[in-house]
Structure 1
Amino acid sequence: MIRIKSPSEFKSTQIPANPGVYIFKDENQEILYIGKATNLRQRVRSYFSKAYKPPKTQKLVSRIRSIDWIVVNNEVEALLLENKLVKQHTPKYNINLKDAKTYAYIALTRETFPRIFSSRKTSPKLETFGPYTDGFTRQDLQRLVVRVFKIRICRKLPEKACLSYHIGLCTAPCIEKVTPEQYFKQVEQARSFLKGNYEKTIQTLNDQMQAVSREQRYEFALELRNQIASIRLLTERQIVDNERQFDQDIMTFRQQGEKLYIMEMSVRKGVLLGKKEFKVDLQPQVEQEFLKAFYSNNLVPREILLNKPCWKDNSEKEALEQFFAQRRGSRVSLLVPKRGVKLSLVKLAEENLKSAFDQNPQILELQSALNLPTIPRIIECFDISNLGKEHVVSGMVRFVEGKPDK
């Protein structure tokens, strides 16, 4: 770590020329910014050069009083470490996408008698599975786990058995109808199923069905057969969906003044789902910083189409692809298409982004101030006045595309 009383005191010779992560702190040792670099010395030195810097970067540099760094082996490790530290510390000058959507998980609580529910957050107190991009599939899967493995859904154990026990969806640990050991086996089977071990679950249930049939407990055998059929139906539907699935995100960037405007459009299973507009302050490598921030809170698709490169060379591009691939769990491609359908998608996103610039700049400021996912094209304002209890007067003013609707 090096300490400075002002930016003019900075000397880069103490910083190694290795790949790694750099950390800027203020006079109170609060973290201001975390970044990654293939060459720490060159990257940090660029902040203190006399070259033009956006106002946000100028303000950042003026507050830096200490610089720390962590050396790693390569750029991919630097990207992964940077992402982890940014999520952990949420520095003020790193891009923070407040409106980025997160997908839900199926969660099991870490209790003697765990319960199952959906959660958009992960926590040490929870064992999570997912996230699931398709909400209907997640709900079907969760209902199936409850029906097959009898996992409780109540927030607190009630004093007497609830409806779930009486309709056969819970083994009622609340009234000690099941021991902790027996309930643990139920949870273990549910955990294996949620991890994707469908065939193992089906085989276990099939063995149980054969055993109870030999004991002539035919009602229980019928219930087990129905559970097996439900699992097969769900998994077959998922296989069909996966064969049709080809996820893409289209990201287009456009600079205006000291701001960068971004249009994000999502294609899922070949269907265009919609768009989101973002605006961030300019800073070094702002397009790359935006992508890392966006995909810290959103699922990474198989392919990301861009209207311009956000890397300096092929090695940096490959490092970004490896970074996103680790988050996704499979290969990810970053492309700047030159022709065909993919170029048409990028052009479509650029056209949507262009329409945002045709708006009244005050409308764009309003969108940013209220953290709205899209531009407010229709604004209605109401004013209601009362004179006693009987005389109520109201009025409405309406604006469409930033102009009065007279």
Structure 2
Amino acid sequence: MNTDSLPDEPGCYIYRDSGGTPVYIGKAKNLKKRVSSYFTGSHDPKTNAMLGVAEDFDYIVTRSETEALILENNLIKRYQPKYNIDLRDSKNYAYIHITGGKFPRIGIARRKGDSGEYFGPFVSAKERDYVLSVVRKIFRLRSCRKLRKRACLRYHMGTCSAPCIGQISEEDYSDLVRKAVSVLKGNNSEIISSLKEEMAGLSAAREFEKAMVVRDQMTAVRHLSERQHIDQKKDTDEDIINYTAREGIMYLMLFSVYKGTLGEKKEFVFDCDEGSFGEFIIQYYAENEPPRELILPEIPDEALEEYLTSVKGMKVRVTVPQKGEKKALLDLVKKNIESLFFGGEAKVERLRKALHLTESPDVIECFDISHLSGTAMVGSMVQFRYGKPDKRNYRRFRIKDVEGIDDFAAIAEVVGRRYSRLVKEEAELPDLIVIDGGKGQLSSALAELEKLDVDIPVISLAKREEEVFIPGLSAPLPLKKNDKASLFLQEIRDEAHRFAISYNRLLRSKEAFDED
């Protein structure tokens, strides 16, 4: 697994097994540093076991580390990965809870269940405790679990209205509760004004340490209105779709937001023309239930809203935001597209310089041969586009004309078959061809290309020392195997090898089945 293309951004990473099932989900302040750390140094047995079954990883970029925390919690609850900790009763971040009944109490709850109102969940225990402390102090709500017959220390400290000894009427106490609920819902101007006055008084009295505590409390209350610190509950679910089109290819990503929190992402790559965006939306929601609101960079068809409403059976709103939170979500989707599909462009440029190419190798095709003692011989070809695997253009070949073990002839066959077809169809040719092997395999591939009069740069990568050979030079390029350009070539070669082995195993399993 190559981590060079990962961004230096906060987000969540997802390790998947061979079947694509998430086995571990984590969050990171810096995705590249965090994921890279799994491949250096020693790890505990559980991490080693997870890495032993992980075949691939995915990631989602977020705007902040706190947003990554919320997303991580959401994804873990949804997929329940095998190697994540089972939090049992603490699966959710804690809530602030104001109970129901006469003289409600305020406290912390790990889950919803009892009567009353819940606020949160909070992703920061420190901020939650500050908010709880502030609300208790300003509105003097009780925190005791049972109303006793005598006043407690909090009453004598002035932070409880003491309904237990009749110091406040039920009506006046209910008014305090209403105010506290209003603040916890984000209507916090009243409490902030009170804290500002207290902070000013403490500063004037030169009690700076206490003033700093009040300042932190005020900051915590302000955070109540920030979406990334509380998983707010909305009445609507949303899908946010954005795309980038390059050279006739559409790179599209869909984020699903459930109850105000980012839940999952899906990405798609397909050939595009003028109407492809609208066509995708029609086809996608023919098979998937539309959300109540669809957020798009543009409206591809005036009848789209009416169509989605008819599919869902209730009103669907299509929005093209120009500013605000929804526009920020659209931009976040675009940022993830750039990171996922085009984050490898720096690797491509480094490879261009290392190989002294005049043109950027944006499209690279790599060939590998796999067999078991000369049986079930197959070839594979993988394509990398802008530094990323383009799996829709992977190809596999069953060797037809080679008997016994002859990797040179096998490479010649698959290269010849691949590019004779592209030439015949006048299809796009790659910018660089990579052959798994040494000078012999390189010569075989080059001979086939010369027969077809195809002029494409060709190199080979030998496994043992990761030596790079180019036509016309007897010695390998002076490229260290830990150089980023070499690591990129190894990533491409390893993917071709994996794809070839998977096809070889498939053929052998079919042969074994036919023999039974």
Q: Give the number of the structure with larger relative contact order, counting CA–CA contacts within 8 Å between residues 6 or more apart.
A: 1
TM normalised by structure 2 equals: 0.29
TM normalised by structure 1 equals: 0.35
